[in-house]
Amino acid sequence: MKTYKIACIPGDGIGKEVIPAGQEVLQALAAGGSDFRFEFTSFGWGGDWYRAHGKMMPDDGLEAIRGMDAILFGSAGDPHIPDHITLWGLRLKICQGFDQYANVRPTRILPGIDAPLKRCGPRDLDWVIVRENSEGEYAGVGGRAHQGHPIEVATDVSILTRAGVERIMRFAFRLAQSRPRKQLTVVTKSNAQRHGMVMWDEVAVAVSKEFPDVRWDKELVDACTARMVNRPASLDTLVATNLHADILSDLAAALAGSLGIAPTGNIDPERRYPSMFEPIHGSAFDIMGKGLANPVGTFWSCVMLLEHLGEPQAAARLMAAIEEITADPKLHTGDLGGQARTADVTAAVISRLNNR
């Protein structure tokens, strides 16, 4: 019997509710006739840890989770702690420390979800957005001079390295190749960003030669937003820089339905370190502690975690259970206009799993 070691980091706000729900669901999946089991270790890092210790996680925190098979992460954010501390002190520290350079966000309209895209006409979508997660516009390079003076200057330098672009392109082409349509859209802005994005385009052409069976095209990021709304079925896998994909993936989540549903994975494709899976929503302090959080984003993240561990059958079983419960409006939480509670949704998924 295989044992997967999973680090659970609930973090802040509703992360503390949805991550335990995710653990319950994974546990039920393993108990139901699988040939693997999970060993969970929880880490109480985040805003509470910061108040007690002056930092979001201990200095040797990465060492503590380095040997894990995967990380299940809730959310980092606290209205009483500045964003740059909560963001850089935990989540990004893990992403950078473990070189999780590919951020992967699948987007689909699940059954029963009143997705805004559907209101634009008869449309559907099935996308995976690959976000470059280690450099680009969020490299943190830049500065300010002459603050407050009319001659003040401020710069944010986007850093793209050929090696960094090659590895994310290769990852995206490989992912596109693994999907039925074998189709990739390389999102660019080389008409205006005339250095880094030109290299980005060049690398796309070079890497595409390694994947002759993948159909690919290039789209400007601005045109891509319109295409996502007007011709969503013309897109399948997309790859974009850190900033561009940040924006496109929020649009994708909004078009497909609620913030409470969507999952993401921060992947180290070389598997040198554990990868991290998390719902895309934040800490949502307005509803925390009330049992109202939608756990579906976490459950879907667990599907991605299972796929990453090489358990596609278990992943498919869980995804099917998730789709059965989203199809039932009685099991919709408040973000979907329903009355269900976190515990109701969790129990319903577990009972579907037990009946399969």
Interface contacts to ligand ATP, rule CB under 6 A:
14, 75, 77, 259-260, 281-287, 293-294, 297, 333-335
Q: Residue 260 binds which entry of ligand ATP, Mg ion, none, with Cβ cut-offs from 5 to 8 Å by kind?
A: ligand ATP
Closest approach, Cβ 289 to Mg ion, in A, equals 18
Cα separation values, 324 from 293, 307, 330, Å:
19, 20, 12
Long-range contacts of range 205-208, CB-CB < 8 Å, 24 or more positions apart?
A: 206/166, 207/166, 207/169, 207/170, 207/173, 208/173
Closest approach, Cβ 180 to ligand ATP, in A, equals 30
Residue nearest to ligand ATP (CB): 282
Q: Would you say 172 or 284 has its CB closer to ligand ATP?
A: 284
In sequence order, which residues have a C-beta less than 8 Å from that of residue 169 and are 6 or more positions away?
186, 203, 204, 207, 239
Number of amino acids touching Mg ion (CB under 5 A): 1
Does the protein bind Mg ion through residue 285 (CB under 5 A)?
A: no
Closest approach, Cβ 101 to ligand ATP, in A, equals 23
Q: How does DSSP assign 17-59, residue by residue?
A: HHHHHHHHHHHHHHHTT-SEEEEEEE---SHHHHHHHSSSS-T
Q: Would you say 17 or 236 has its CB closer to ligand ATP?
A: 17
Closest approach, Cβ 86 to Mg ion, in A, equals 11
Instruction: Kindly tell me which residue out of 32, 97, 164, 282 binds Mg ion, with binding defined by CB under 5 A.
Output: 282
Q: Residue 202 binds which entry of Mg ion, ligand ATP, none, with Cβ cut-offs from 5 to 8 Å by kind?
A: none
At residue 237, the 3 state secondary structure works out as strand
Q: Would you say 87 or 199 has its CB closer to Mg ion?
A: 87
Q: Would you say 77 or 274 has its CB closer to ligand ATP?
A: 77
Cα separation values, 59 from 9, 76, 80, Å:
16, 17, 22
Measured from the Cβ of residue 183, the count of other Cβ atoms closer than 10 Å reads 17
**What ranges in 188-311 are assigned the alpha helix state H?**
196-208, 221-230, 242-256, 296-309
Q: Residue 257 binds which entry of Mg ion, ligand ATP, none, with Cβ cut-offs from 5 to 8 Å by kind?
A: none
Q: Residue 63 binds which entry of ligand ATP, Mg ion, none, with Cβ cut-offs from 5 to 8 Å by kind?
A: none
Q: Would you say 217 or 286 has its CB closer to ligand ATP?
A: 286
Closest approach, Cβ 93 to ligand ATP, in A, equals 16
Matching residue, tokens 């796929």: 307
Q: Would you say 113 or 293 has its CB closer to ligand ATP?
A: 293
Residue nearest to Mg ion (CB): 282
Residue type, 13: G
Q: Cα-atom radius of gyration of the chain, to the nearest Å?
A: 20
Which range touches Mg ion (CB under 5 A), out of 15-23, 79-87, 121-129, 280-288? 280-288
Question: Which class for 155: exposed (0-12), middle (13-18), buried (19 or more C-beta within 10 A)?
Answer: exposed
Give phi and psi for 38, each to the nearest 5.
-115, 145
Q: Would you say 112 or 282 has its CB closer to Mg ion?
A: 282
Contact residues toward Mg ion (CB under 5 A) are 282
